[in-house]
Amino acid sequence: MNSVPQWGQGAQQFQQNITQGWAQALQSFGGLAGNTGQALPQLAFDPARLEALQKAYVEEASQLWNQGLTAKAPLPDKRFAAEAWATNPVSAFTAAVYLLNARTLLGLAEAAETDEKTKARLRFGIEQWLAASAPSNFLALNAEAQRKAIETRGESIAKGVQNLLADLQQGHVSMTDESVFEVGRNVATTEGAVVFENELFQLIEYKPSTAKVYERPYLVVPPCINKFYILDLQPENSLVKYLVDQGHRTFVVSWRNPDATLEDKTWDDYIAEGPIRAIDVVQEITGAQQVNALGFCVGGTLLGTSLAVLAARGEKPVASATFLTTFLDFTDTGVLDVFIDEAFVKFREMQMGQRGMLKGQDLASTFSFLRPNDLVWNYVVGNYLKGETPPPFDLLYWNSDSTNLPGPMYAWYLRNTYLENNLAKPGKCTVCGEKLDLRKLDMPAYIYGSREDHIVPIAGAYGSTQVLTGKKRFVMGASGHIAGVINPPAKNKRSYWTNDKLPKTHAEWLQGAKEHPGSWWTDWSAWLKPHGGKLVAAPKSYGSRKYKAIEPAPGRYVKAKA
């Protein structure tokens, strides 16, 4: 076992076996995505790289075997970092072998000589398999869970079974103690009223907290693939409350959670009866000629599309726009690109392009498995093997409150953004009867991206700076898609980066960027202030004579479950 086998004449056969096996794996992965009937991608491996991988593997395996079941230091992986792993020789050996195999498999993915998309799919598929097969996921191999079972005299196992049955009943893995939270009681509590509704959204107006407000009202368009209250979780981390406290007369779109009655709704419907209608109503209620607007994630894509439709009609009702973790140019979509190709999009179009519903749980599962160790298996181990109840966390409660999407709207979105990137191509898209050109969006724009965002990669967020033509400011925040955005100044956490120059790529921008401690909210507030107009007396009541208060915020649409 101490000697290393030579590569020799078996190299060609070994390469052939590797190539065939991985091609079959790719075919299986493509089949899961609806990618059937296509020729297998071409794979090749450099024999020298394969030899180096084999040599490294045999050497490390030999070392592990020679060490046997002797005590070892904690492994450099948080899944195996507990003392129980290091003091249990069998579990420690199993984990070490797993990590060696994981490194080797990922090395094989990197050694594959193929196109970048195929390599990304190989890498993604391997990462999913590795995350699922980790010894920490199995009670028979998890030393930490075994120790807890002994210490609690089996109570942790009994509690784990109860947790499993409860999660099977609710249809998803619990990430937090959902019984602690209730929308309208201890999340989404900023005071306000619904002043308009149609079949797609309710418009919430929030009560001013200052004697005077800026004359230009502020409209927030959240993503329709999530509930709006990510922007209004608790008073101390509510972006909505922050806007109100800064003197902005704030309105928020609360999207309806679609049911079967909306399964024929299109992207055009969401534009015409979504942001465009909301802008009209806010203007009518306030009497303002222009509003300021914010779009978050898909809400930003909807807002940008709506403004392009209005610009094509010669209308410019928005004085300034803020885009948070938003794609307008879908050139760089990160890991989500592994799912998207012509066959997958055609499959979805056939499945639900005319009528149908994309279930919210399907979307939620997809996003969770982009980070499987943190957002899936971590909770499987804690909830079921250790019998733990995850602590209350408002953000994770929101994350579990999924929403559906109408099939036609979703199918249009897939093809014209992720697959063909038509929104960024002048005149390529026709929405609401208008050919779109994002270059006509020349209002001042504040563009924010999160450094570790796995849904809208930072380079993808930066791409908007090269599409919009007005005066722009780009800011990068620390952390990910949600935690980077929800970062109130009072917490004094994380950092943000600024650079007044906007070169072609984010990498160039970053070279000249300056880091600032704390929250980007203060930078955004300072940028927004001159766009608010003069200060006027705050309104004493909600809505107007035409648009009267319908019900208190947060309204009933946000409470509908998928």
- The residue type of 462 is Y
Helix (H, G, I), strand (E, B) or coil at 202: strand
pLDDT of residue 15: 47
Q: CA-to-CA distance for 58 and 42, rounded, in angstroms?
A: 28
Q: CA-to-CA distance for 239 and 296, rounded, in angstroms?
A: 12
pLDDT of residue 75: 81
Considering all CA atoms of the chain, what is the largest pairwise distance in Å, rounded to the nearest integer?
87
Q: CA-to-CA distance for 445 and 326, rounded, in angstroms?
A: 12
Taking each helix axis from N to C end, the angle separating 89-111 and 47-67, rounded to the nearest 10 degrees, works out to: 180
Cα dist. 168→163, 351, 373 in Å? 9, 27, 20
Q: What is the pTM of this model?
A: 0.89
Cα dist. 103→99, 107, 128, 130, 474 in Å? 6, 6, 14, 10, 37
Q: Please name the residues in contact with 112: beta carbons below 8 A apart, sequence gap of 6 or more.
A: 22, 43, 44, 45, 118, 119, 122
Confidence check: pLDDT of 3 > 80: no
CB atoms within 10 A of CB 350: 11
Residue 517: strand pairing partners: 495
288 and 217 Cβ atoms separated by less than 8 Å: yes
Q: What confidence tens digit (pLDDT) does each residue in 166-207 have?
A: 999 988 899 999 889 999 999 999 999 999 999 999 999 999
Catalytic residue among 224, 297, 429, 432: 297
Q: CA-to-CA distance for 280 and 15, rounded, in angstroms?
A: 63
The residue with tokens 């973790």 is 325
Mean pLDDT over residues 106-121, rounded?
89
**Among the listed ranges 18-32, 387-401, 449-463, which one has the minimum average pLDDT value?**
18-32
User: Is the Cα torsion angle 140, 141, 145, 149 positive or negative in sign?
Assistant: positive
Q: What confidence tens digit (pLDDT) does each residue in 133-147 have?
A: 999 999 999 999 999
Q: How confident is the model at residue 409 (pLDDT cuts 50, 70, 90)?
A: very high
Residue 44: strand pairing partners: 113
Alpha helices, H only, 414-465 = 458-462
Q: Choose between 22 and 425: higher pLDDT.
A: 425
Alpha helices, H only, 476-545 = 506-511, 521-528
Q: CA-to-CA distance for 473 and 456, rounded, in angstroms?
A: 18
Task: Indicate the DSSP class of residue 439.
Answer: G
pLDDT of residue 39: 62
C-alpha 181: how far from chain center: 22
Mean pLDDT over residues 247-276, rounded?
97
Confidence check: pLDDT of 8 > 50: no
Pairing, β 445-450 against β 472-477: parallel
**What does the block give as tokens for 457?**
């990669």
Q: How confident is the model at residue 49 (pLDDT cuts 50, 70, 90)?
A: confident
Going along the chain from its start, the domains and CATH numbers come out as 8-151 (no CATH), 152-181+360-393 (no CATH), 195-358+404-559 (3.40.50.1820)
The DSSP line for 366-399 is HHHTTSHIIIIIHHHIIIIIS-PPPPP-HHHHHH
Q: How confident is the model at residue 26 (pLDDT cuts 50, 70, 90)?
A: very low
Mean pLDDT over residues 513-530, rounded?
97
Alpha helices, H only, 134-274 = 143-151, 155-170, 239-245, 267-272
Is residue 429 part of the annotated active site? The answer reads no
Q: What confidence tens digit (pLDDT) does each residue in 440-481 have?
A: 999 999 999 999 999 999 999 999 999 999 999 999 999 999
Cis peptide preceding 317, ω within 30 of 0: no
